[in-house]
A and B are shown apart, each in its own frame.
Chain A
Amino acid sequence: MNRKILTAFLLLTLPAFGGADSQWVLEQCTLSYHVSHPLHSSEGVSHTARGKGVCHQGQCDFLIAVAVKSFDSGDSNRDIHMVQVTRGAQFPMVVVRTRLPETASATATIHADLEIQFAGQTAQYKQVAFELATQGNQTRISGTIPATLSDFKIDPPSLLAIPVKNEMPVRVDMTWHPQ
């Protein structure tokens, strides 16, 4: 009897310890950047990001990508201008890569090392905090990436000869589910 229980336990748990491949798929995503100026501030939002995570031997490689031109600030003139200053026609995608341990999904907060490709530049952000909330088979991840324009060598747009602030925090709100 004990042997049967042990065998059943081993059969159930071994795949997990053995690092069986699994995948995560980005179900929903809202990304919003915020830029501010002494006279005015604005926010551009995109809901079109796609993402995937591939797990192997306890480590998951995540890739999230979104088109630069998909960000909408409610002002088409400003959006086109943002695409121009961020060289979005030449480098049309924002690509985010990170690697996390598979066990991270069980924690309430993760600190991820991010590599972001944007505007023809690659910037790395260490230990960016994200909050996790799991409901059913969905995991919601939210946090803010402390990006700046200078990280990507972007000349700040100006209004009345005053440039916007260098800080451009990007709010991330994603829902993932395992596949």
Chain B
Amino acid sequence: MLRNLLHDRRISVFSLVVGCLLTTLPSYLIAQANGRGSLTGKVSDASGGVVANATVTATSVGTGETRTVTTGTNGTYKFDLLPAGNYRVKFEAAGFKTAEILSATVNATETAVLDGKLEARDQVSSKPASQDNLPNAPSSSTKAPSLEDLGFTPAQTQGSLQDQARLDKRTHMLKIHQRLGLITLAPLVATFITSANAGGKNTNNTDRTVHMVLGAVSGDLYFMTAYYAIRAPKIPGTETRGPIRLHKAMAWIHGPGMILTPILGALAYNQRNNGEKVHGIASAHGPVAIVTGAAFGIAVASVSLKF
């Protein structure tokens, strides 16, 4: 009787083991074959206490596929059959700031472990995180180095909202400068094209007027463009390097040229309208305009291929 019972129990245990293997082995083999793995871990707060009901979201860096699980009462979570690859893992819980691990690798051969640390919501995100917030960091009683230990002074490490505002204003104004400069190119090119009809022997007053109006529009846009560059806040202690040097150097040519060209153009316009041949200083209108236009084109090109 006893022997039969033991025999039956042995069979039961054997059946259970076989059953377990038959149940788990296929899914394990499927996971291996499909390149899938698991990701597990524990979510805790700054004091080390577990965080239950935290939402953990794993997003595949490669495919963008997202999976979400919730931590249990012991603060643990687990993703099963996760396609192998790199994941961004986000931890969220009520009363805590969202924490995100930007790169966690899941492979098919082992279960990846990734613990999450959540910081209470009332803390400022830009403040230096304590050493306890380092991912998977074991506890250490030693004093971690600080910026002062590295020899940085508070003046070097503390930012200035005023300086940032100055930089923001500078960028804003230079963006307008850049856009206006590109817009100016259109009437400027049109002015050059119409110059052929304005300056020849068989020209009429209309051609000259069209050329003059286009030139005036170019000049107006040009001076608006220049205004935003000249009035943009300067950043003290900055040494000018790179293509901006050429850009600024060209301004010394096209700036005076843009003042001189319309003056010479007005003289030439009057002479032609009076039936005279363009003569004297007015005959420099064309060459000055060409040099000015070329310098402006070089200035635009020198910075347009950089951001």
Cα distance A125–B87 in the bound complex, in angstroms: 11
Write out the residue numbers on chain B whose beta carbons fall within 8 Å of the beta carbon of A140: none
From known contacts A40-B305, A84-B168, A159-B306, infer whether A75 and B134 are also in contact, taking CB-CB under 8 Å. Answer: no
Interface size class of B (residues with CB under 8 A): 35 or more
Interface 1/0s, chain B 289-307, versus A by CB < 8 A?
0000000000000011111
Interface size class of A (residues with CB under 8 A): 35 or more
A121 and B244 form a contact (CB under 8 A): no
Q: Is A83 an interface residue (CB 8 A)?
A: yes
Q: Is A174 an interface residue (CB 8 A)?
A: no
Partner of B156, one of A63, A77, A92, A121: A92
Cα distance A42–B305 in the bound complex, in angstroms: 11
B145 and A53 form a contact (CB under 8 A): yes
B103 and A146 form a contact (CB under 8 A): yes
Give chain B interface residues in 80-139, CB to chain A under 8 Å. Answer: 99-105, 114, 125-126, 128-129, 131, 133-138
Specify the main secondary structure of chain B where it touches its partner: loop
Give chain B interface residues in 146-186, CB to chain A under 8 Å. Answer: 146-147, 149-152, 156-161, 163-164, 166-168, 170-171
Q: Is A131 an interface residue (CB 8 A)?
A: no
Give chain A interface residues in 117-149, CB to chain B under 8 Å. Answer: 117, 120-128, 146
Write out the residue numbers on chain A whose beta carbons fall within 8 Å of the beta carbon of B149: 52, 63
Sample of 6 further A-B pairs with CB below 8 A, known A76-B241, A80-B235, A89-B163: A50-B150, A61-B145, A63-B150, A91-B126, A95-B128, A122-B126
Write 24 A-B pairs (CB below 8 A) sorted by A numbering.
A56-B140, A63-B150, A65-B157, A75-B242, A76-B238, A76-B244, A80-B238, A88-B167, A89-B163, A90-B161, A90-B164, A97-B134, A97-B144, A99-B137, A113-B134, A113-B136, A113-B137, A115-B135, A122-B129, A123-B102, A127-B104, A146-B102, A160-B304, A164-B307
Give residues in A with beta carbon < 8 Å to B. 21, 37, 39-40, 42, 50-57, 59, 61-63, 65, 67, 73-78, 80-81, 83-85, 87-93, 95, 97-99, 113, 115, 117, 120-128, 146, 151, 157-160, 164
